[in-house]
Amino acid sequence: MDGTLISTFLHGRASKEVRLKSKQSLTSKQVIEAMQLLVDEFKSEIERLVHLNYTVDMEYTSPSNHVFVSYSQPQLTVLCIRSHANGQTLFGTRLKTFLIENNFPTILNHLVAFESVPSDVTHKQL
């Protein structure tokens, strides 16, 4: 992934509205554009996860938000979730299993593709 790391948080003591932030900003261009991608069932499922005390970490990529890899359209890709209750981070197969078992089908469609790389492959060969 080659974009901006975006995380969820709850805003407001009473309303507890789900919002997004980058590491450095609550209102950057990337955050505002990423918020526009939270729609329909994807938004509902993200909100449900956040209200279950998880932080969702995603990568925001777009034609104008990348370093090396080009992207044809803006997208949010789910990387992992972190439990506020025990600090456990779920990613890869464990995250996929959690999402299936707990009925988060739309988030599954936004999940980063994990591929195994043989240990004898160097970084330069990638």
- 22, 6 Cβ separation under 8 angstroms: yes
pLDDT digits (tens, 9 = 90+) for 5-64: 999 999 987 778 999 999 889 989 999 999 999 999 999 999 999 999 999 999 999 888
8-state DSSP, 1: -
User: For 4-108, which CATH superfamily applies?
Assistant: DNA ligase/mRNA capping enzyme (3.30.470.30)
For residue 126, the model assigns a pLDDT of: 46
Domain boundaries, the chain: 4-108
For residue 51, the model assigns a pLDDT of: 94
- 91, 80 Cβ separation under 8 angstroms: yes
pLDDT digits (tens, 9 = 90+) for 86-126: 999 999 999 999 999 999 999 999 999 866 555 665 655 54
- 21, 50 Cβ separation under 8 angstroms: no
Measured CA distances, 41 to 38, 79, 108, 109, 125 (Å): 9, 18, 11, 11, 39
